[in-house]
Amino acid sequence: EVQLVESGGGLVQPGGSLRLSCAASGFTFNNYAMSWVRQAPGKGLEWVSTICGSDSNTYYVDSVRGRFTISRDDSKNTLYLQMDSPRAEDTAVYYCAKGGRGSCYSAGDYWGQGTLVTVSS
Amino acid sequence: DFVMTQSPDSLAVSLGERATIHCKSSQSVLYSSNNKNYLAWYQQRPGQPPKLLISWASTRESGVPDRFSGSGSGTDFTLTISSLQAEDVAVYYCQQYYSTPLTFGGGTRVEIK
């Protein structure tokens, strides 16, 4: 059974740092693209970043490029999102999602329960 | 960027009746080399993460009831719930995964009339 469990959310000050983690199980982690998608309170879904499975290429939405870094540790089956210099508008529930095998461009077929990040002083 | 526009924003349908949601992309999401539409539909029930219903515009995920169907190609797509059940109350999103940034529609809220 595929499971994705996010952790690391919480309250962070503007300009601070926070690292989110997503522990994966139930599939061969290194073969699959993984993404972060966020949802601000009462709002819709926004794709944040994807890391490919095969070559670990990374992609970001413009609003976080240069501030957030996606990475993966295939030995630990874990996905990360390093959030540097967060802003109030980054406040959201952050979901990790499993993508396709062998392709970075794919739908998210499994999602975690999400972790809430609140950026406030 | 690909702009995904969903309509309507919300709809109320009687139990057992049909619900139809539209999604329009600002650019074609049909990849000519494999003739696939890079378009997905998700369901998000209150307090839950999104759930993938349909990928490649019309391929239902395993375990998804067959009352859910997707259709369309290029820039215009439709999600149809043929006979609305109480558990279908949710917000539905389309998403293109043809090009980064991957983009979602604004969502359609489905309620019981």
**Tell me: the pLDDT tens digits for A56-108?**
899 999 999 999 999 999 999 999 999 999 999 999 999 999 998 778 899 99
Distance CA A64, CA B66 (A): 38
Instruction: State whether B102 and A47 contact (CB < 8 Å).
Output: yes
Select the residue of B49, B97, B99 nearest A111 (Cβ to Cβ): B49
Distance CA B34, CA A74 (A): 30
pLDDT in the model for residue A22: 98
Would you say the C-alpha torsion A68, A6, B102, B91 has a positive or negative sign?
Answer: negative
User: Which tokens sit at A38?
Assistant: 């966020």
Q: pLDDT (tens digit, 9 = 90+) per residue, B18-55?
A: 999 999 999 999 999 999 999 999 999 999 999 999 99
- Secondary structure class of A88 (helix, strand, coil): helix
Instruction: State whether A109 and B61 contact (CB < 8 Å).
Output: yes
- Secondary structure class of A119 (helix, strand, coil): strand
Chain B residues within an 8 Å CB radius of A108: 40, 42, 50, 52
- Torsion angles phi and psi, residue A31, rounded to 5: -85, -10
Q: pLDDT (tens digit, 9 = 90+) per residue, B49-86?
A: 999 999 999 999 999 999 999 999 999 999 999 999 99
B103 CB within 8 Å of a chain A CB = yes
